[in-house]
Amino acid sequence: MKEQIGYPYTMLPDDMFQHGGAGYGGQGTLCGSLGACSAIINLVAMDQHFSHNAIVADLINWYASATFPTSRFDDICRFPEQIKVSPNSPLCHISASTWTVAAGTNVDSYERKDRCAKVAGEVAYQTVLRLNAYVDGSYAPSAPGPSEATAYCLNCHGPAAFNNQQGKMSCMLCHSDHTK
C-alpha cells in the first residue's frame, strides 16, 4: 500500500503494531495479528455501511475456526510441518496455550514463536484477500458465524432478550451451561 497508494500509508511506521505481540504487552488478550490487521481494515474499508466492522468480524470468525499454523510458509520457516490446532478463540492466551501444550513445548520456545509468526503471516494474507475483494466490490463474509451452542446462549443473553452479554466468542470455552 505504501508503494502503490502512497499517502497516508507512507506515514505508518513499520513498528506501529510491535506492542501487539503476545496479546498486547504480554497480557494474552486479543491475538496481536488480529488487532494490527483490524486497524488496517479500519483504515481501508471504513464506510457508511460499516464494512470495516463486518470484515473485522469475518476475520475474527475465520481465525477462531482455522487450524494453525498454516503450511503456507513451510518453505521459509525454521520448523515446517508443525502440529496444527484450532484455537476456537481469537484470544492470544487460548490460541497460544492450547497449541503450546499440544506441541509439547513452552511459550518461550522458538517453535512457539515460529508458529505465531506463521499465524501472523496467515492473518495478514487473509486480510489482503478480504480487502482486495472489498476494493473490487465483491466482498462477502466467508467464515462461519457463531456456533449453534453459542447461538443458544445468545437467545437469552443476546439483544433479543436480556442483552447483558457483549461479544460472540464461544461461551462454553469459559462458562458451563447453567440451563442443563
Q: Contact with ligand HEC (CB under 6 A): which of 25, 42, 156, 163?
A: 156
Residue with cell 466482498: 139
Q: Could you say whether residue 157 binds ligand HEC (CB under 6 A)?
A: yes
User: Is residue 34 within 8 Å of residue 63, measured between CB atoms?
Assistant: yes
Q: Contact with ligand HEC (CB under 6 A): which of 18, 142, 155, 163?
A: 155
Min dist. Cβ of residue 30 to ligand HEC (A): 11
Q: Which is nearer to ligand HEC, 62 or 139 (CB)?
A: 62
Binding mask 75-94 for ligand HEC (x = CB under 6 A): ----------------x---
Question: What part of residues 91-110 is at the interface with ligand HEC (CB under 6 A)?
Answer: 91
CA 148 distance to own-chain centroid = 20
Q: Could you say whether residue 41 binds ligand HEC (CB under 6 A)?
A: no
Min dist. Cβ of residue 45 to ligand HEC (A): 25
Q: Could you say whether residue 151 binds ligand HEC (CB under 6 A)?
A: no
Name the one range near ligand HEC by CB under 6 A: 4-12, 107-115, 123-131, 157-165: 157-165
Sequence-separated (6 or more) residues with CB below 8 Å from residue 96: 22, 23, 28, 107, 112, 116
Q: Could you say whether residue 34 binds ligand HEC (CB under 6 A)?
A: no
> CA-CA distance, 90 to 136, in Å (whole number)?
27
> CA-CA distance, 39 to 87, in Å (whole number)?
22
> For residue 67, which amino acid is it?
T
Q: At what angle do helices 110-136 and 51-65 cross, to 10 degrees?
A: 140
DSSP symbol at 170: -
Torsion 133-89-34-102 (CA) sign: negative
Q: What radius of gyration do the chain's Cα atoms show?
A: 18
Q: Could you say whether residue 150 binds ligand HEC (CB under 6 A)?
A: yes
Name the one range near ligand HEC by CB under 6 A: 38-46, 54-62, 113-121, 156-164: 156-164
Q: Which residues bind ligand HEC (CB under 6 A)?
A: 91, 150, 152-157, 164-165, 167-171, 173-175, 177-179
